Amino acid sequence: MNFKRLILNLLLGGLLGVSLVACNNDSSNHPNDTLRVDVGAEAPSLDPTKSEDVNSSRIMYDLFAGLVDFNQKNEIIPGLAQSWEISPDGKTYTFHLRDNLKFSDGSQLSAKDVVYSWRRLVDPRIASSYNFLLSGVENGQDIIDGKQAIDKLGVYAADEQTVVVKLIMPDSAFLDKVAMPNLFVIPQAAIEKYAAQWTDPGKMVTSGAYVLKEHVVNGYILADKNPNYYAESSVSIAHIKYLPYVDLNASVAAYKTGDLDMTFQMLPVDQYTQLKKTYQDQVHTVQQEAIGYYEFNMQDPILGKNLKLRQALSMAVDRTALTNDVLQDGKSPLYSVVTPTINGGKYADLAYKWSTWSAQQRITEAKKLYAQAGYGPNHPYKVTIMYNTNEMYKKISIALAAMWKDTLGVQVEVQNQDWKTFLQTRHKGAYQIARGGWFADYNNVTTYTLLYQCGNPQNDTHWCDMDYNKLLSKGDAEQNPTLQQQDYFAALQRAQDAYIAIPLFQFSFNRMVKPYVQGYEIEQNYLDHVQSKWLKLDSSK
């Protein structure tokens, strides 16, 4: 099938097209003390315990701080804790806090605040979708399941400056988890005083480099430098203004007119080539440790019970045409439930055998499976694709619909929702096929395995296979790296063979950055975790 011609017809037909705006490299519109950054959408939550998306995380990394920090190479470095020790058996971590730590309101920040923050994450009344980060801490999973009180969590304040953490088994990725915003330190006093309103301007108390000043929903968020931050002297920029551009074209237009200093993760695919040519060094493309996929709702009465249908839909997608002809922005085709680069490439062999077949071989097999699933020209499958409002995901959804219709005769309806609503739709399983994506939190395959784990709040396919869970648990407990890899590989193979999702591509992220924004080492940051405290503004550039 000539998917390239089909997709080009869609582009020319105006479904996916967008016009270019005249470029403007002028920086005269830039205020010297404020960095204006796109965050891609209105942040669903500014509460680190409840936050679960990359849009919110960009802000969380500025407002709050954790025991450990990370540099632009994604390496773990000291944070609120100036040092730590790990016991010989790998199950006890002892963190030593810096002297005279304070929250943004000047109140003392001590070990008990760390304990409070971590207990709140596992509190079943909060039901954080990231509570699994502490499931490996003593009693963590039992607390999450409501079987133990939160004060039984294996995190203790030995004294005001010492935090002791007890794990049920060694975890090579534990420090990477501690560097995530969900484990950052939050203010007990403000939360208890203001309840759900504690994240409002004037009420929020922070532990990071910045403090919330203003928040206009769907308008902007303004943060000021925190004078009580432990590394305040190294923070150069006085104010950060976060702008939630859902429309990628509007984001680029604002950048061109000088009203935006940094775009978010993606650029309009129709403009990418021209932008790269026009702006050259201002356009950065970096391969990212992240996957893009569309997931099946395994609770759906048809999809959940029809493996051959799910496989046919997966095989009918031309991933090369999708990445090369639709997206054209550096993403690479993906035929696995994890990237081939995670853990230094240890899981690169986890790919569908048919990934090396010719397009015609794949289509022939997809048609065969579709017929065996009970569908054909006289009885087409009808399905709805759901995606969050975003031009790139609109294009992908339209492209998938076109491929399925052209190859199999599937009748597809495409629907979109705003980001916050879309997250809830997936969590509730109120969809048939939905856009999915996962941006690795750290360079370990366990950042992906949770997506397919029975009972994990991030498993939006709602697939549950206890053998998969058992293999994960076996791998988690295994001390031999080779045997551990074999357990994880076997588990992931089960998820892959179940066709619970359609892996499409490994992300690259694209960002436009003004020349006067200095100190950003973007090419080394494969996780794309950004902190404004790294950056400086130089109006001479």
Average pLDDT over residues 97-119: 98
Q: 32-61+193-283+511-541 has which CATH code?
A: 3.40.190.10
pLDDT tens, position by position, 9-49: 444 343 333 222 333 344 456 767 999 999 999 999 999 99
Strands 92-97 and 162-166: what pairing? antiparallel
Does domain 65-185 match CATH 3.90.76.10?
yes
Q: What is the pLDDT of residue 19?
A: 28
Architecture of the domain spanning 292-509 = Roll (3.10)
Taking 3-state DSSP, the helix, strand and coil percentages for the chain, each rounded to the nearest 5, stand at: 35, 20, 40
Element housing 59 (H / E): helix 54-63
Q: What is the pLDDT of residue 517?
A: 96
Q: What is the pLDDT of residue 197?
A: 97
Strands 81-86 and 92-97: what pairing? antiparallel
Average pLDDT over residues 78-83: 98
**Beta-carbon contacts of residue 368 (< 8 Å; ≥ 6 apart):** none
The pTM of this model reads 0.80
pLDDT tens, position by position, 424-463: 999 999 999 999 999 998 889 999 999 999 989 899 999 9
Strands 210-216 and 162-166: what pairing? unpaired
Task: Check whether 387 has a pLDDT greater than 70.
Answer: yes
Alpha-carbon gap, residue 66 to 302, rounded angstroms: 45
Is residue 185 within 8 A of residue 80, CB to CB? The reply is yes
Alpha-carbon gap, residue 160 to 148, rounded angstroms: 25
Element housing 388 (H / E): strand 382-388
118 Rama sector, left if φ>0, alpha if ψ -120 to 50, beta otherwise:
alpha
Q: What is the pLDDT of residue 7?
A: 47
- Mean pLDDT estimate for the chain: 92
Is residue 243 within 8 A of residue 38, CB to CB? The reply is yes
- The whole-angstrom distance between residue 64's C-alpha and the CA centroid of its chain comes to 18
Task: Check whether 52 has a pLDDT greater than 90.
Answer: no
Alpha-carbon gap, residue 400 to 302, rounded angstroms: 19
Q: How far from each other are the two terminal CA atoms of the chain, in whole angstroms? A: 49
Average pLDDT over residues 227-255: 96
pLDDT tens, position by position, 168-191: 999 989 999 999 999 999 999 999
The count of other CB atoms within 10 Å of the CB of residue 340 is: 16
CB hemisphere CA count around 101 (13 angstroms): 27
**Cα distances (angstroms) measured from residue 401 to each of 313, 398, 412:** 10, 5, 6
Name the band, by pLDDT with cuts 50, 70 and 90, for residue 540: confident
**Cα distances (angstroms) measured from residue 198 to each of 184, 202, 205, 525:** 16, 9, 8, 32
**Beta-carbon contacts of residue 427 (< 8 Å; ≥ 6 apart):** 129, 457, 460
Domains of the chain, by residue range, sit at 32-61+193-283+511-541, 65-185, 292-509
Nearest Cα residue to 385 out of 408, 401, 367: 401
**Cα distances (angstroms) measured from residue 298 to each of 397, 401, 422, 433:** 19, 20, 17, 10
Is residue 283 within 8 A of residue 510, CB to CB? The reply is yes
Measure the CA angle with vertex 489, ends 486 and 491; round to 5°. Answer: 110
Assigned token pair, 479: 């001390």
Name the band, by pLDDT with cuts 50, 70 and 90, for residue 3: very low
Alpha-carbon gap, residue 168 to 92, rounded angstroms: 9
Average pLDDT over residues 517-532: 93
Percent of the chain with pLDDT over 70: 94
Assign 3-class secondary structure to 110-149.
Answer: CHHHHHHHHHHHHCCCCCCCCHHHHCCECCHHHHHCCCCC
Alpha-carbon gap, residue 63 to 57, rounded angstroms: 10
* Length of the chain measured in residues: 541
Nearest Cα residue to 396 out of 247, 504, 287: 504
pLDDT tens, position by position, 314-365: 999 999 999 999 988 889 999 999 999 998 899 999 999 999 999 999 999 9
